[in-house]
Structures are given as C-alpha cells and as structure tokens.
Amino acid sequence: MYHIIISIIAQKKPVNISKEKLESVFKELEDKIISLVKNQLKRFKNLLSSDYPACTERQVEDEEDQSSVREGALEITLHVLRKMNQTDLANTLLTKLAPACHRKLKSKLRDKCQKIHEGISQHGTTALLNEIYTELYITEGGSGKVNNEHEVRQIEAASRRPATQETPIKCSDIFRPLPGQDKAIRTVLTKGVAGIGKTVSVQKFILDWSEGNVNQDVLFIFPLPFRELNLLKEKKFSLVELLHCFFPETCELKPKHYTSYKIMFIFDGLDECRLPLDFQKNERLWDVTESTSVDVLLTNLIEGNLLPSALLWITSRPAAANQIPPECVDQVTEVRGFSEPQKEEYFRKRISDQSLANRIITHMKSSKSLYIMCHIPVFCWIAATVLERLLGEAEIPKTLTQMFTHFLIFQLRHKDQKYGPSMKGQKGPTHPCHMRKHVLALGKLAFQQLEKGNLIFYEEDLRNSGIDVREMTVCSGMCTQIFREEFELQLGKVFSFVHLSVQEFLAALYVFISFISTNTNVLQQEHPGFFNISKTPMSVFLNVAVDKALTSQNGHLDLFLRFLLGLSLESNQTLLRRLLTQTGSSSHSKEETVKYIKEKISDSPSTEKSINLFHCLNELNEHSLVQEVQTYLSRGSNSGLHGARLSPAQWSALAFVLLNSEEELDEFDLRKYDPSEECLLRLLPVVKASRKAILSGCGLTEESCKSFTSVLQTENSLRELEINNNDLQNSGVEQLCAGLKSSHCKLEILRLSGCGLIEESCKSLTSVLQTENSLRELEMNNNDLQNSGVEQLCAGLKSSHCKLEILSLAICNLGENAYENLASALQLPNSLLRELDLSNNDMNNSGVEQLSAGLKSSHCKLEILRLSGCLVTEEGCSSLASALRSNPSHLKELDLTYNHPGESGVKLLSARLEDPHCRLETLRVEHAGEIRIKRGIRKYACDLTLDPNTAHTRLSLSEGNRKVTCVKEQQPYPDHPERFDVWKQVACRESLTGRSYWEVECSGRKAGISVTYKGISRKGASDDCWFG
C-alpha cells in the first residue's frame, strides 16, 4: 500500500510542505492503515472459525460496495498465509468470501461428474466415478508437436517404453511446475490417443475440485468441450455472455470478478474442434464484455489477451496438438493410459468376481496384441464386457477381430433382450433384416468419416454423407454401447462411436459386407452406382486393401486392414451369420493373401508397415514366418543370430518377434545379428524401442545415419547410442545431429569414437549443444579433431543449453592451443562437466598449464581428469598441484599414467592426497619413465626377442633371436612342452602388459602378427593352437 501511495505522489509536482508536517501526515496514515488491516484480519479470523457462518449473498454485496482496500488486505493475507505453508487456511478463507454462485457451480459440476457411463452411452450402465476410477499414467509430454502416426502405433510404441524413463504426474498436479522447473504455468496442453482417458481425467479433476479435495485456490472452473463450442461457430458472444450461456448460475458475476478471482477454463477435445482457430488473422481482444465470434474469443483466451491470469487446460489427440502455437503453451503432458499395474487394477475393480478377473488378466497377457491395447481404458472395458461372458467356452478371442466381433454380437444380443423378439410375420427392430440395415448404416457412416478423419459427427456431416439423421438417432438408441447421440446439449445433435477402434471395425465390416453381397469394392470405387458384372476374387479384393493401407500416410488404415483381413476368415464370418447373407472366403484365397502379404513384407521399405503386416498375418492365423525366426533364436547361443543368412522377410519377422517379446528391450546389439546396414534398416523398430543401441563396427555409412535420424525424430526409448568405429564422416554426423535436435530425442549418451570426424563434425555437434538437448555424455575418442575442432566444441560447452557431464577426447590429435579453450569453458558458472578424458594427446607442460587455469576456477566442477600419455613432466605436475590448492573441493581422481612426472612431481601431487581440505582420492602415476615423453605412439615402444623354446621346427631364428625365417629344413631344436608342433608359429620371450608398441619388418610371403595369452595350446592342429 505504501508503494502505491508513494508512486502516486511521485507522479505529481512536489508539494510545498514542511518535513515535520509530512512526518505527521504519514504517521497518521500509518495508524489508519494498520487499523484497517487489523479490522480485516479480525474479520478473516472470524470467517475461519468453525462456528462462524459463511457470508450470505447480502453480506457479499455489502462488502463489494466498500473500499477496494479490503481486496488488497485479502490479497496480502492470502499471499502471506501461503508463504507460511498455510495453503488450506488460505483456500478456506477464499471459499468463505466467494459469491453464492461459486457454491452453485460447484454443486452443478459435482452432480454432473460424479457418475460415469460405461462405454460412453447415457443409455448404458452408470457407476460412481470415485468407486471405479483407476489412476491413469500421465507424464510430461515434451513439445506440442504433431504426431500423425496411427494411434495404435503410438500405443504399441508407448507399451515398449520403460516406465522409469518418465516422471509420472498426478492429474490434480498438472498446473504445478515439475522438479527443476522454475516457471508459472498458465496453459497446459494434454495429449493422448482416442479413448486413452483424457475426458475421464478432466471429469475426475473437476469432481475432486467440486468436492473440495484439491485445487481449492481456483474459485471457478468452466469446462467448455470443443464438441459443444462447435455448435456456436456461427454465433457471436462476449466472453461473459458465452459463460452465462453454458453456466446460467454465474450470471451474478460482474466483469471485474473474472480478473479478481482465480478461474480455470477446460477445453476438452481440441481434435474435435471445427473452428478455424486462426491465431495469425484473428482480431486482438482484451474486453470480456465485447461481442465477437467464439473462434476469436478462444484464440484471445489462449494467447492471454483475455484474462491473462486465468488457467487453461486443453486436451487433444496427438495429431491435432499443433493447432495451438507452442509459445502459448507452458506445459505439455501426455496421458499414456494404463500402466501394467493399472491394467490389472482396472479388471479387478470392473469385475467383482476376483477369480474371474484373474483368469481374464491371465488370458489377456497370453496375447501380446490384445494386452498392448489394454493401455486404452475403453479397450479394457470392451475386453471385460466380452471375456466375463465368454471365459469357459471353447473359442476365446485371441485376436483383435475376434474380440470386436464378439463385442458386436453381445451388443446385438443386448438389443434382442431390450426390445424382445419380433412378432410372427412382422419385421421388428431385432429382425435380421432390420439389424443388418442398422449395422450397415453405422458401418457406412464409420467408413466415410474414417476417410475424412472424423471421430464426432454433426447432422450436417450425416446429410453430406447421404445418411438419414433420424435413422442414426434410432441406431444410437438401439446400439447404445457402440454409437451415441449426445442428449444433454440444447444447441444441436452430436454423434460419435464409443472409440476409434470400434469405428474402424464397423468400417471394415461395411466394406467386407459390401463386397461379398454386391461384389462392390468401396475402397477403389469411383462410380458409386456402378455394379461389377464379373465376380472379383476375394484375394484380389484383399490385395487391393493391403496396397491401399501401405500407401496411406502414417499408417492411418493399419487397424482397419487388420480387421478386414480378420473378417475374411470363415470362423469370424460364422460368428456374424445373422448379418451376412453369404460367406466370402476359402482356404485358397487365404493362401494367396498370405503369400501376397509376405511378398510385401520382403519389398516394404518401411519397417513400421512391415510390423503391421505381421499383425495382419496374426489376424489370419498365419504364424510360419515368426515360427521360423523363433526356431533360429532357440538354436542360437550368446552370439545370437550372428552369421545367420536370413531373408528380408525373416529379418522383418525377427523385428516383430523382438518387439513382442515378454522381455524388456533394454539393450540392442546389432553385432549379435548381422553387423550390416541392411540388417539395421530392417531392425530399426527394435532400435527405436530399446534404451541402448550398440552399432559399433557395423560398416555403417551416411545412409545409415539418414535412416537412423528418422528414429530420433519420432517418439523413441533411446537413451544411449554407441556407434564407434563406423566411417560416418562429416556428412553422416550432420545427418545424426538433425535427429539429436528433435524434441522427440532424449538421448543422454552418445559414443562416436573412431568415426572419421574432423572440425566440420564438431561444428554440427556444437549446434546440438547450443539448442535444447538431453546429452550428458559425449565420447569422440580417436578422431582427428585438432585444435580447430575443439574450439568449435567449446562454443557448445559454453551454451546455457549444454548439459554435458562427461566428455572424452582421447587420441584426437590436439595441440597445445586446444586446452586454452577447454579451460575457458571450465571457468563458466553454467559448466556441468564432471569428467574429462584428454588421454594420448601430445599436451606437453604448456597445455597442462593452460588447462590448470580452468581447474583453479571455483566454477570448475571436474571430479575426474584423465591425462594418460600426455607428455606431462614435473613442470606440469606443479601446475596441477597449484590448481588443486586453489580449488580443492571437486577433483577426486587424476590419471597421469604413461607420463614422466619424476619423483618431485609425484611428491607435489601426493601432498594434495594427504591434504584434509583437498578432495583428491585417487592419483595414478603407473608406467612412468623418461620414454613416455616421446611424441605419438613411440612413447609405448618396447624391445622384443623370440623364444626358441616355442619355435616350430621349420622356423629358423637369427640375429640374437630377433629374426625368424621359414625354412624347408627341420631345425634341430630340443623337445620342449611349449613348442608349437603343427602350426608354424613362434612366441616372444617377453610378457606384455599395458600399452605396448613394436614394429615388424616383413619380406617374402605374408606373415601373421598376433597377440595371444601365454597359456595358448601348443600341440595339435586345432584352432585353440592358432594365432588369430
């Protein structure tokens, strides 16, 4: 308050008043303000007393007529209470002072949210949400970038991702900053595939709030689903009028209340939005009472022009998430559905008979494709609906087509029970003709809207598709668990299927029935009224469907194709005999279809599409390719399938087997299979699902990096990538870095040793370190980076985005000037480097001195420093000891092996070991000596002589046992147990440990040079005796 008064005085011309008078005025002002605040605090205290009644509407109105000083006093009180960790008291006070409409809105929302309809139909069974609610797995969702992949693919990918890689978020905490975040969160965007539980999460959030359990600092929550807002797209409202339209009980709120109270808007179903949401062209709006289109109101709310203090929660399927500009979103979360324990919890809550629930869980786990789908709560409900009635019968669903076929049958039987059998001679609602008509109508709608990508449909959509709106209303009343019409809306009708998968199943059923009934292939029909005279074989029809699915972008017809192929089986058609006038399959057509799919698997360049084709074979009960690969795996040893000659189709089958294995995909090592580029491309889905990928020494090139980049640019589980000893060069690294910059990339460890990298490669990697990334460890050993490359790299180390903790630059041909750049990076406050390896670079004492300038800095956090083989002498040790005296708090391990520190150098550093204030724990100075100050590998040179007791009798030794010659005459060596008697070999006399370098001059026929253990076998011709 003082601040406000003083700032007002400061804006006026100075008042001619004496110092004494000014003191007197402010003393009186202070007394009055303290008195006002005391009175307000007394009033607040009374309100918080348990025996004090809540404010009446009349009292609230009286309060509003009084000075805004009281609002200031309330604001200060709430702020201080929360600072004192008295959040509950603050929220209670806020609630007691709230207008009556606050309690009315809470009551209305509580009544609306406390019950949940199983499936989604109001005609179906209802249950109390709090009794059956199973907490969903929600995580931080990275960015709001679009993901156009088929949602079943996204579910399958999520099922392979270890839960430990993400931090779960409670639904009630989505507006709280995550650990390590220091920002206010206004807008949260929550992504999730259809049926994953976004709307139920919203419902639970509102219920918990309305019951007074959580988020009580929020006074008003206004849920505004997009499917309802769509109905108002032609009308104009002010924001206040729009809220009054949806929530008439809040009419008493005045415009100023929308800024003085903490309020939240929940916009559920962005993917269902039919409004333009044109953030670029829409007019700017700041007045809550100004009338405009609903579209303009929404964009201004989201941008923060309208009510910048309001909280916003937007939910969306992944493909639509990018409609909101990233700068308007403070937090992205993702609903992953049920985790593994939550799946079981759902079935145990849903089915009261626990013995039956356990049997259902066991059956679902036995079918990987079914159990993966259980991440989706709606699918769990479908599975429970089917299996609690079917368990114990002969044929239990094992494929998706079987599961959905039984689900449809149960719904049709339920319809029979509800409406009764037809009267004799009459075709009532349950007569097969009527039933078939309704299912075909639903199927036609499902197919036409699937092609358009719609999950909700309005009357206009139905009319545009040539579908009778009244007929769909009848269908929604009779097929309540499959299709629904919204009843609680006053502004128009909205239709939808229970879930996208149900829509895809009915679409496939419609396409299949159309073909077998009228020989019409609606998948390629250009003339709707045209009737094919010649009968198209079933195999041709199905092949067309396979081709169409393979050419569809991002696999949008993947699940549809699985269902269509599954329906071609006679066993599934038998189940649907009430709907089919005839069957349309034979073993011959199945064999032709299977053959065609296998050909496509061999030819398919897209590994993801190959995986879906294996799911298609599963729907056709065809498992031969998978069984072939499983046979290979069962025969294999620790070396896996290394050296196996598999066909392209078998490699794809291997990918499918590994992805559907019960074992968690922690580490993928390409060397266990076939260390080649072709094998890598076929197994990319496995790499994508693994936490660690080892691709070292596999002959990979720039093309491999290009394909691998696509993995990093989509949702993946990779955290560690080892790609050593591949000739990637600059172009390959540039490709790789494009993937590292993706928001989907969460790679933490990257190993690029021996990959032919030079300065330009460092430039690409630096651009990664200067953008948002997750890299913590970077290994670039044995690359010709030189000083210029390290200079580039250090620019990245200095970036605020750089999170590197471990950096390895051994054998990188670094000169003395490289270390000055590294030292400057170590001195920055944001440096996180804990471990640095510079071994086997000709550093010299001058380089050590430059690096020591960085080590002396209090900002340097290095704990491990490796300078093995760096030409360090006593002078360099002196610089290091000086650095440890200046900054003794961090370095724990110092490796100076293969240097020449001398006695005095060792003594200087050993003194730091004994210093109680110095953190140094390990000092390594082994293999020291004057020879270690030679440049390059000659510092490891050694003299070797040959051992005559090991020489084969056809080998002649000379020149003091330093030369060996292969001769025809047998040499007169005495018998000796260490002599090679078959292989023409000789061992040296000296034993080697550590790093050793020697040179051999050869002439004549090719000679083999090898390193072996002394205990190698000497007698006989077995491989155990052979060098190599």
Q: What does the pLDDT read at residue 5?
A: 38
pLDDT at 4: 39
Residue 99 clears pLDDT 80, i.e. is over it: no
Coil, helix or strand at residue 870: coil
Confidence of residue 95 (pLDDT cuts 50, 70, 90): low
Q: Please compute the mean of the pLDDT values over residues 774-779 and round it to a whole number.
A: 97
Between CA 550 and CA 556 the distance in angstroms is: 9
Phi, psi of 808 (to 5 degrees): -120, 120
Q: Tell me, what's the pLDDT at 70? A: 60
Q: What pLDDT is stored for residue 107 in this prediction?
A: 92
Q: Token pair 């260490």 is at which residue?
A: 978
In 844-989 the beta strands, taken as DSSP E runs, fall at: 864-866, 893-895, 922-924, 955-958, 963-966
Q: Is the pLDDT reported for residue 10 higher than 50?
A: no
618 pLDDT above the threshold of 50: yes
Q: How many CA atoms lie within 13 A of 600 on its CB side?
A: 25
Q: In Å, what is the CA distance from 303 to each residue of 191, 268, 306, 308, 310?
A: 19, 17, 8, 8, 11
pLDDT reported for residue 1: 38
Q: In angstroms, rounded to a whole number, what is the distance separating the alpha carbons of residues 37 and 43?
A: 10
Query: What average pLDDT score do residues 609-614 get?
Result: 89
Residue with the bigger pLDDT between 742 and 640: it is: 742
The confidence score (pLDDT) of residue 389 equals: 85
What is the rounded radius of gyration, in angstroms, for the C-alpha atoms of the chain?
A: 37
Mean pLDDT of 65-93: 63
State the average pLDDT over residues 984-1010. Answer: 88
Q: Is the pLDDT of residue 87 over 70?
A: no
- Mean pLDDT confidence for 431-452: 82
Q: Indicate the range of 1-5, 140-144, 311-315 predicted with least confidence.
A: 1-5
pLDDT bracket for residue 486 (50, 70, 90): low
Confidence class for position 123, pLDDT limits 50, 70, 90? very low
The three-state secondary structure class of 518 is: helix
Of 192, 290, 180, the residue nearest 240 (C-alpha):
290
AA identity, residue 855: L
Cα 428 → chain centroid:
51
The answer, yes or no, to whether residue 390 has pLDDT greater than 90, is: no
Calculated CA dihedral for residues 31, 33, 38, 41, nearest 10 degrees: -170
Average pLDDT, the chain: 84
Q: What share of the chain is helix, strand, coil (3-state, %, to 5)?
A: 50, 10, 45
> How many CA atoms lie within 13 Å of 982's alpha carbon, on the beta-carbon side?
11
CA 721, CA 1022: separation in Å to the nearest integer?
38
**DSSP states along 3-70:** HHHHHHHHHSPPP---HHHHHHHHHHHHHHHHHHHHHHHHHHHHHHSTTSPPPPHHHHHHHHHS-THH
**How many CB atoms are closer than 10 A to CB 848?**
27
Q: Is the pLDDT of residue 157 over 80?
A: no
Q: Is the pLDDT of residue 441 over 90?
A: no
Q: Residue 47: what pLDDT?
A: 66
In angstroms, the CA 505 to CA 497 distance is: 11
Compute the distance between CA of residue 217 and CA of residue 634 in angstroms, rounded to an integer. 60
List residues bridging with 895 in a β-sheet.
Answer: 866, 924
pLDDT of residue 81: 65
pLDDT of 504: 95
Q: What is the pTM of this model?
A: 0.77
pLDDT band at 613 (very low <50, low <70, confident <90, very high): very high
pLDDT at 29: 60
Report how far residue 254's alpha carbon sits from residue 257's, in angstroms, rounded to the nearest whole number.
5
Distance between CA atoms of residues 216 and 267, nearest Å: 20
Residues 356/357/362/367 CA torsion (nearest 10 deg):
110
Average pLDDT over residues 617-629: 91
Record the tokens describing residue 567, joined without a space. Answer: 């329906």
Sequence-ordered list of residues with C-beta below 8 angstroms from that of 51, at least 6 positions apart, any chain: none
pLDDT the model gives residue 32: 64
Handedness of CA 954, 958, 960, 963 (dihedral sign): negative
Angle between helix 729-740 and 702-712 (nearest 10)? 0
Residue 866, by phi and psi: left (phi above 0), alpha (psi -120 to 50) or beta? beta
Q: Supply the DSSP symbol for 997.
A: B
Overall average pLDDT of the 885-908 stretch:
96
Residue 508 confidence class, pLDDT cut points 50, 70, 90 = very high
Task: Report the side by side order of strands in the sheet with 456-458.
Answer: 456-458, 494-497, 483-485
In this prediction, residues 861-874 reach a mean pLDDT of 96
677 burial via Cβ count (<10 Å: 0-12, 13-18, 19+): middle
With pLDDT > 90 as the criterion, what percentage of the chain qualifies? 49
Q: Which of 233-237, 633-637, 662-666, 1020-1024 has the lowest mean pLDDT?
A: 633-637
The mean pLDDT of 218-228, rounded to a whole number, is 93
Least confident residue range of 123-132, 277-286, 545-554, 996-1005: 123-132
Q: What letters, b where the CB count within 10 A reaches 16 and e where it falls short, cover 431-464?
A: eeebbbebbbbbbbbbbbbbeeebbbbbeebbee
Q: Looking at residue 9, what is its pLDDT?
A: 39
| SS3 at position 881 | helix
Does residue 146 surpass a pLDDT of 70? no
Q: pLDDT band for position 91 (50/70/90)?
A: low
Query: What pLDDT score does 932 carry?
Result: 93
Please write the tens of the pLDDT for every residue from 916-931: 999 999 999 999 999 9
Task: Encode 257-272: b = buried (16+ Cβ within 10 Å), e = exposed.
Answer: bbeebbbbbbbbbbbb
Average pLDDT of 610-628?
A: 91
pLDDT, residue 51, reads 61
pLDDT over threshold 80, residue 175: yes
Closest CA to 559 of 967, 747, 567, 478: 567
pLDDT digits (tens, 9 = 90+) for 248-275: 998 888 888 888 788 999 999 999 898 9
Which residues, including other chains, have CB under 8 Å from residue 280's CB and lie 6 or more apart?
none
- 1003: pLDDT strictly greater than 90: no
Q: What is the pLDDT of residue 896?
A: 98
pLDDT in the model for residue 489: 47
Contact criterion met (CB below 8 Å) for 206 and 221: yes
User: Sorting pLDDT into bands at 50, 70 and 90, what band is 392?
Assistant: low
pLDDT (mean) for 171-194 = 87
Spatial neighbors of 127 by CB under 8 A, at least 6 apart, are 115, 116, 118
Structure tokens at 167: 């931090």
pLDDT band at 634; cut points 50, 70, 90: confident
Q: What is the mean pLDDT of residues 444-468?
A: 82
pLDDT digits (tens, 9 = 90+) for 662-678: 777 889 999 988 888 88
Indicate if the pLDDT at residue 11 is higher than 60: no
Average pLDDT over residues 856-869: 96
CB atoms within 10 A of CB 340: 14
The contacts of residue 30 (CB under 8 Å, 6+ apart) are none
pLDDT of residue 1028: 67
Q: pLDDT at position 67, please?
A: 47
- 582 in Cβ contact with 528 (< 8 Å): no
- Return the minimum-mean-pLDDT range out of 380-389, 622-631, 657-666, 778-787: 657-666
**Strand runs (DSSP E) across 420-576, as ranges?**
456-458, 483-485, 494-497
pLDDT digits (tens, 9 = 90+) for 745-755: 999 999 999 99
CA atoms within 13 A of residue 830's CA, in its CB half-sphere? 12
Indicate whether 356 pLDDT > 70: yes
Candidate ranges 488-497, 603-612, 782-791; pick with highest mean pLDDT: 782-791
Residue with tokens 């923060």: 304
**What is the pLDDT, as a whole number, of residue 25?**
62
Q: How many residues does the chain have?
A: 1028
- Reply yes or no on whether the pLDDT at 804 is more than 90: yes
Handedness of CA 29, 34, 35, 40 (dihedral sign): positive
Contacts of residue 147, defined as CB under 8 A and 6 or more positions apart, other chains included, come to 154, 191, 318, 319, 321, 714, 715
- The answer to whether 153 and 289 are in contact (CB under 8 A) is no
> Among the listed ranges 6-10, 647-651, 734-738, 1012-1016, which one has the minimum average pLDDT value?
6-10
Say which range, 139-143, 230-234, 369-373, 721-725, has the weakest mean pLDDT: 139-143
pLDDT greater than 90 at residue 822: yes
pLDDT band at residue 1008, thresholds of 50, 70 and 90?
Answer: confident
Residue type, 453: G
The letter for the amino acid at 686 is V
pLDDT tens digits for 524-538?
A: 864 444 445 567 889
- How many whole angstroms from its chain centre is CA 817? 42
Q: What is the pLDDT of residues 552-610, one digit of tens each?
A: 877 889 999 999 999 999 989 988 888 887 776 666 688 999 999 999 998 876 677 88
Nearest residue to 495 via CA among 519, 511, 479: 479
User: Is pLDDT above 60 for 68?
Assistant: no
Angstrom CA distances, 273 to 111, 458, 504, stand at: 26, 12, 21
Integer angstrom CA distances of residue 188 from 35, 206, 324: 42, 15, 11
pLDDT at 832: 95
Task: Give the Cα separation of 470 and 1003 in Å (integer).
Answer: 96
Convert the pLDDT of each residue in 826-852 to its tens digit. 999 999 999 999 999 999 999 999 999
Q: What is the pLDDT of residue 647?
A: 86
Q: Choose the weakest-confidence range: 24-28, 194-198, 613-617, 675-679.
A: 24-28
Alpha-carbon distance of 922 to 884, in angstroms, equals 13
